[in-house]
Amino acid sequence: MQRLRLFVASALCLVTLTAWQLPTPPEPPSGISARAWAATAGRGTVADVIVTLPGYPDLSPARALRTKGEKTRFVVRALQAHAEHAQAQLRADLATRGLDFFPLWITNQIVVRRIDRPTLRWLGTRSDVIRVDLDEQTRGLENHTEDRHPKSHSPLLIPYSPPAVEWGIQRVNAPQVWAMGYTGQGVVIANLDTGVRWDHEALKPHYRGWDGITVTHDYNWFDAAPTDGNPPSSTPQDVNGHGTHTTGTVVGDDGVGNQIGVAPSTKWIACRNMAGPSGIGSVARYIACFQFALAPTDVNGNFPDPAHSADVTSNSWACDPDYGEIGCDVPTALITATQALRDAGIMVVASAGNRGSACRSVVHAPATLDQAFTIGATDSSDTIASFSSRGPSSLTGQIKPDVVAPGVNVRSARPGSPTSYGLSSGTSMAAPHVAGVVALLWSAAPELRGDVETTEMLLRYTARPLTDNETCGGVPGSAWPNNTYGYGLVDALAAVNAALSAPVVTAPASVRVNEPFAVVISTTNVTPLTRAGVVISSSLPTTLTLISSAPPGTVNGNVISWTFPSLAPSSTLTASLVVSAALSGPVTHQAYLQFDGLPSPVPGRPATTVLLGYQLVFPFVVHSPG
């Protein structure tokens, strides 16, 4: 009996213990990521999250617009209108709850800061929310060293006596373009990086916020990655040094010998998307800076204005989940934002990464994306750097990098003082060389500004081909292009010469309706190479009637074209047409040039004719007095 009692007591005790075991922690509700759920597990624990809302506007009509300004305005208006509608109720409810939030209208998302578990659950159960994910980590990563960070190699701060122009600037043939009068004037570069020491002697004269007397940081600087919980900085700063160095390679020139930048007349603006000495980013931070480049704001992130948008973004970073950058484990996380910039006529230049020499080491956005122009690194002998990532893209399987540029022992600005300079190596140093080349090209051929597709084509097909003995992604290194060098070493002079060979249109500024007038198209080969299989073409507006052409052209729909067997250096080809119009209003004449080896035609500088309606003349009747 005693044994029976002990057995029963033990069984009851076991049942009791089993009944009172702590329940298994609940899974996160549908739509809330596991990491966001875990980040708010403790009592009083808060986290920053990024909320995705449904729907996205169609931006494709922007691609048919003619100018960069038109494209940018269309994209910004479409994105903001959609976000204001889709996010209206959530923004109002967040404000009612007193929560701090920042709309990412470029991707139809909202960053909500410092929320607890109940708030997270509330967000995840809303019908106007698709997904809630953790935004960023701000602790526990400070011990990463830059050598472990694939974004850049550590700077070498060694005494250095500069030449008149840095070797990398010479290697991409920038000085020859300067001699032609094109130094990047009229172009704005957005450096999206760790920040910039804006008052550095080689950078300050080129900062858009500096007019030579006063400084204005509104619409020229935004801090999307404040350091260690500090509020966003209203003044450009760089506690890492990386962004100052990369900005210098695009525009740097102190006027007295430190010619460290490819395009010294270009204006720069900046957005910090990586925080702290180690440079920690996140998907939200990266997107916030893309949004700033599209429609800059005041330093508080308010009043976005596409009239102040950048033309090119220079991106020397990788969205790297191995470095603790939240959201970067989703390979497609940055496609929406980069495609929006592309549709808006803003070129995204990105470093390939420093994970070479292995093949298939282009593994992180934005380098992996078709929407980005990806840059590998070479040394002063035009040999691929051992660290430069090789293609193909791990996301798309396409050839990457697109081109290569100098990236070994590159001298540029450092943030230690307004006169500090240093050497750094990495594809981070190569990408800003190409951003500067784009600025030179667009200053020489303003009609290409905002035409990202044609610009990329010109840079690829005018690059100096380079080959290697390694085969990556099934493409031999002896092929062109290949996954080591892409299409080759970027060449500013060759790209500008090709663009300047594009046709020039001459037409009268105004004529009367139904009055025939001549449109003359000419193209001069300013390169040292004979062009074969030359085709000049022109799009005829539907309001025009073609009367004749000389020489006789081939008409296909509303396009007339002329084919010539070749065009020798310094030679000119001319074609003309006589047209008339029955309707009043402006008519734009656009011509294109194509030749063997160029996959798409290059647009020339257009001309506009205003058709004037007949003016009725009323005679004056003079009445004599009396």
The DSSP line for 134-203 is E----SS-TT--GGG-TT-PPPB-------SB-HHHHHTTHHHHHHTT-SSTT-EEEEEES---TT-TTT
230 alpha-carbon distance from chain centroid: 28
Q: Which pTM was predicted?
A: 0.87
Q: Are 151 and 428 in contact (CB under 8 A)?
A: yes
Q: What is the pLDDT of residue 21?
A: 52
Place 123 in a pLDDT band, splitting at 50, 70 and 90: very high
Kindly calculate the radius of gyration of the chain based on its CA atoms and give it in whole angstroms. 29
Q: Is the pLDDT of residue 143 over 50?
A: no
Q: Is the pLDDT of residue 26 over 80?
A: no
Q: Is the pLDDT of residue 13 over 70?
A: no
Please write the tens of the pLDDT for every residue from 190-224.
999 999 999 999 999 999 999 999 999 999 999 99
Choose, from 200, 242, 308, 589, the residue flagged as catalytic. Answer: 242
Please write the tens of the pLDDT for every residue from 156-190.
443 444 457 899 999 999 999 999 999 999 999 99
Q: Is the pLDDT of residue 615 over 60?
A: no
Q: Is the pLDDT of residue 5 over 60?
A: no
| 502-612 is a CATH 3.40.50.970 domain | no
The DSSP line for 315-384 is E-----GGGT-TTTTSTTTTHHHHHHHHHTT-EEEEE--S-TTSTT-B-STTTT-TTSEEEEEE-TTSPB
d(CA 578, CA 556): 17
The DSSP line for 390-440 is P-SBTTT-----SEEEE-SSEEEE-TTSTT-EEEE-SHHHHHHHHHHHHHH
Task: State what percent of residues in the chain have pLDDT above 90.
Answer: 69
Please write the tens of the pLDDT for every residue from 298-345.
999 999 999 999 999 999 999 998 888 888 989 999 999 999 999 999
Q: What is the pLDDT of residue 25?
A: 54
Least confident of 132-136, 400-404, 438-442: 132-136
Q: Is the pLDDT of residue 122 over 60?
A: yes
Please write the tens of the pLDDT for every residue from 581-610.
888 888 888 899 998 878 888 888 888 999
Closest CA to 195 of 104, 105, 299, 107: 299
What's the mean pLDDT when you consider all of the chain?
A: 88
Active site residue 193: yes
Q: What is the pLDDT of residue 583?
A: 87
Report the pLDDT averaged over residues 10-22. 46
Q: Which residue has the higher pLDDT, 623 or 528?
A: 528
Place of tokens 């208006």: 77
Active site residue 242: yes
CATH topology of domain 169-498: Rossmann fold (3.40.50)
List the beta bridge partners of residue 593. Answer: 536, 602
And the tokens for 141? 């990563």
Please write the tens of the pLDDT for every residue from 454-478.
999 999 999 999 999 999 999 999 9
455 alpha-carbon distance from chain centroid: 13
Q: What is the pLDDT of residue 24?
A: 52
d(CA 596, CA 564): 11
Q: What is the pLDDT of residue 42?
A: 77
Choose, from 428, 501, 537, 538, the residue flagged as catalytic. Answer: 428
Choose, from 135, 193, 253, 343, the residue flagged as catalytic. Answer: 193
Q: What is the pLDDT of residue 529?
A: 82
Report the pLDDT averaged over residues 486-495. 96
Domain ranges of the chain: 34-134, 169-498, 502-612
CATH topology of domain 34-134: Alpha-Beta Plaits (3.30.70)
d(CA 291, CA 338): 10
Sign of torsion over alpha carbons 266, 269, 274, 279: positive
Q: How many CB atoms lie within 10 A of CB 6?
A: 10
130 alpha-carbon distance from chain centroid: 27
